[in-house]
Structure 1
Amino acid sequence: MSRLPPALQNLSLPVIGSPLFIISNPKLVIEQCKAGIIGAMPALNARPASQLDEWLHEITETLAAWNRQHPDRPAAPFAINQIVHKSNDRLEHDMEMVVRHKVPVIITSLGARTDVNDAIHGYGGVVLHDVINNTFARKAVEKGADGLIAVAAGAGGHAGTKSPFALVQEIREWFDGPLALSGAIATGGAVLAAQAMGADFAYIGSAFIATEEARASDAYKQAIVEGTSDDIVYSSLFTGVHGNYLKPSIRNAGLDPDNLPESDPSKMDFGGGESAKKAWKDIWGCGQGIGAVHQVSTAAAFIAKLKQEYARARERVGVPA
């Protein structure tokens, strides 16, 4: 395994809850961290922008109180996702907030910038950058990212097309820093498999949509429970970048999920306005791992299930506890 900075050590399970656009919120992040995994949310989920300051205060103070009350079971650190794309007109404001609150982990997406990384390193924060191929991985590290999130085929949202075996293998040939793997991971066995391939962490998103704390509609959560990998479609139509989405939501929008036109990156818009939310509000992002999700539960219950599955998987393959 790789060298890990202190903020990424001592988790109760090697999992990062991926930041879910619109869906992640302080309640979900706090429950993830209290259960011992890194909880994350996009800065853009706080709307208006002024709400981000309030949310960061809530998360920081709640986790600090938890740690005082449970010194034997301290919470994992939390992470904030920053969209480093030119259309994100909130980036400067949101960076000021994460620096003010000294957010332990920052996840950067859709671009890598040295100035952003330098600002986070200035207070001792850790930067993880998500990538869909080895070329982008090298660029991210060259610009100062501490670690990488390999977004492989089958991941929810803006997923890549690389096999997780190929992507992790290529990155590990030259990079020994923190590495998380994303792509259809929804069981404890899959978490162990990610580690066996060379990743330090599993990056889990879609399964957390079907939790009570997630800010998703009941219909969205139920679609996760009822769906399988056959219900996922890979398309660039909705944001200009290819991603995985639930077919039922596409049909509900009056479109044929099997005959969608293509779009292009020029259509990307991560500005602060409502237009940036529209596609993600009506068209439900989702990864291919949802066949393992059979009910809506609390985040704590789902993480407890992951821990049990992880322990059983280690025993099954003879990995010492």
Structure 2
Amino acid sequence: MTRIPTPVTRLLGTDLPVVQAGMSWASSSPALPLAVSRAGGLGVVAAGPMRLDDLARTLDDMTNGTHRPWAVNLPLYRAGADEVIELLLDRRPPVLIASQGGPRRYLQQFHDIGTTCLHVVAGTEHARKAAEAGVDGLVVVGAEAGGHPPPTMVTTQILVRAIVTAVPGTPVVASGGIADGAGLAAMLALGAGAAQFGTRFLASHEATVHPDYKAAVVRAAIDDTRTVGNGLGVIRALANDFTDRMGELEASAADIDVRRKAFQGSTLRDAALHGDVTDGKVEAGQSAGLVDAIMPAAAIVNRIVTEYREAIRTLPRVEGG
């Protein structure tokens, strides 16, 4: 097995510094995370939209399906989060990636059962607080990311470098706008120990989203995403009729209740499960423009490694003093 050892791979026990993002519906089942973990990366189950019984079955499938490390992503704001935490404490996932809340809510309980805990952050202040609370590592999400980018819209390159400098010694996973091995090399050069790939794995055979969603990602250019939902929880999604409507309402300074109705009238579920790529929330990052094919997840991991090798091979060497 090929290995690229970094502080993050040593922390997680993976062979490669490749983390598959926890994506609602796309990895809310064992298929994608199992494939990524078996290929040497870290597969991540997205617990956000899952019912408890479905999550329990998926956790059992992960435990029985691989001896390699895997993770669960838990948005702490989701309904029934406390019940999900109890289930996870019973099933003991190797890694927990928590977001949308403070780490003190869960950290000691999971450390007590031996789970490695990463916390998602989008700014230096939150990064410092999470590190001081004792998290094992950070997932740093920049503005290019699909789904929920940081409200400050600071790019991944700047944010990763700032946080690596602010919390030296804390392992960092960089996320947002990374789709290939060159992007991985760039993030490692900035001081991160791994890169998280979301949109790239949306276009995988194992991602459990509608084929039309995957096709929309592959068709997209780098400027085909929009950020909408100001004051409502900004998302980045592929441009469509939904984002056009939201953009018009925001540009005209429409009343918040009018915008909320339009925002809540479209859902990620409609796009992911039913293939409504016209009016649904087709969440994806700017890196969609770098995705050129739907591939098996293991082949994506292998391609990232090949591209990484080529990227570092072609870097100019220092000459002289």
Q: TM-score, normalised by structure 1?
A: 0.83
* SS of equivalent residue, structure 2 residue 134: coil
Matched residue, 1:271: none
Q: How many angstroms does 1:55 deviate by?
A: 0.8
Q: Distance in 2 between matches of 1:114 and 1:169?
A: 25
1:198 Cα deviation after fit: 0.6
1:29 and 2:33 equivalent?
yes
Deviation larger for 289-298 or 26-35 = 289-298
Structure 1 contact 155–244 (Cα < 8 Å) conserved: yes
Report what 1:184 is aligned to. 177
> 2:103·2:119 contact (CA, 8 Å) conserved in 1?
no
Match of 1:301 in 2: 299
- Identity, % of aligned positions: 28
Q: Supply the distance in 1 between the matched residues of 2:207 and 2:7 (Cα, whole angstroms).
A: 32
Partner of residue 43, structure 2: 39
Cα 1:91/1:36, change in 2 over 3 Å: same
Contact 2:223–2:289 at 8 Å: present in 1 too? no
Report the aligned-residue RMSD. Answer: 2.5
Q: Does 1:62 align with 2:31?
A: no
Note if 1:120 corresponds to 2:83. no
User: In structure 2, do the counterparts of structure 1 residues 53 and 149 end up closer, same or farther at CA, with 3 Å as the change threshold?
Assistant: same
Q: Which residue of 2 aligns with 1:219?
A: 212
Determine the structure 2 residue equivalent to 1:17.
20
Question: After the TM superposition, which of the residue ranges 140-149 and 255-264 deviates more from structure 2?
Answer: 255-264
Q: Give the aligned residue type for 1:40.
A: V
SS at match of 2:145: coil
Greater shift in the superposed pair: 31-40 or 145-154: 145-154
The 1:156–1:60 alpha-carbon spacing in structure 2 relative to 1, beyond 3 Å, is same
Relative distance call for 1:163 and 1:240 in structure 2 (3 A) is same
The CA distance in 2 between the partners of 1:49 and 1:156, in whole Å, is 26
**Cα distance in 2 for residues equivalent to 1:199 and 1:254:** 33
Q: How does 1:257-296 map to 2 (within 5 A)?
A: 258-261=247-250, 278=269, 281=272, 282-296=280-294
Q: Aligned equivalents of 1:22 and 1:141: distance in 2? A: 30
Structure 1 residue 164: deviation in Å? 2.4
The equivalent residue for 2:84 is: 94
Contact 1:112–1:143 under 8 Å retained in 2: no
Structure 2 residue 12 is matched with structure 1 residue 8? yes
* Residue 171 (1) aligns with residue 192 (2): no
Asked if the contact 2:99–2:119 (Cα under 8 Å) also holds between the matched residues in 1, the reply is yes
Name the CA shift for 1:79/1:10 in 2 (closer, same or farther; >3 Å): closer
Distance (Å, rounded) in 2 between the aligned partners of 1:184 and 1:115: 30
For the pair 1:141 / 2:131, whether they are aligned, the reply is: yes
Separation in structure 2 between the aligned mates of residue 297 and residue 20 of structure 1, nearest angstrom: 17
Gaps of 5+ in 1: 65-74, 268-274
Partner of 1:317: 315
Q: Which residue of 2 is the match for residue 200 of structure 1?
A: 193
For 2:211 and 2:148, how far apart are their aligned partners in 1? 23
Residue 118 (structure 1) shift: 1.0
Distance 2:304 2:216 in 1: 21
| TM-score of the pair, normalised by structure 2 | 0.83
Post-superposition Cα deviations, 1:219-257, rounded to whole Å, max 9, x if no partner, equal 1100111101211001126x9222210113xx1x48436
Classify the secondary structure of the residue corresponding to 1:137.
helix
Judged with a 3 Å threshold, the aligned counterparts in structure 2 of structure 1 residues 278 and 299 are, in CA distance, closer, same or farther, namely: closer
- Is the contact between residue 84 and residue 113 of structure 1 (CA under 8 Å) also seen in structure 2? no
1:115 deviation in Å?
3.1
Question: Does the CA contact (< 8 Å) of 2:8 and 2:17 recur in 1?
Answer: no
Secondary structure in 1 aligned to 2:313? Answer: helix
SS of the aligned residue for 1:229 comes to: coil
Q: Deviations over 1:56-82 (max 9, x none)?
A: 011111103xxxxxxxxxx3x111011
Can you give the 5+ residue segments of structure 2 that lack an aligned partner in the other structure?
261-265, 273-279
The alignment partner of 2:128 has SS state of helix
Q: 1:318 Cα shift?
A: 6.2
Alpha-carbon shift at residue 280 of structure 1 (Å): 6.7
Amino acid at match of 1:212: H
Distance 1:279 1:133 in 2: 31
Residue 83, structure 1, aligned to residue 72, structure 2: no
Amino acid at match of 1:296: I
Q: 1:279 to 1:137 in 2, by over 3 A?
A: farther
1:141 Cα offset (Å): 2.0
Q: State the Cα deviation string for residues 187-245 of structure 1 (Å, max 9, x = none).
A: 101001000001001011011111111111111100111101211001126x9222210
Q: SS state of the match for residue 52, structure 2? A: coil
Tell me the SS of whatever aligns to 1:286. coil
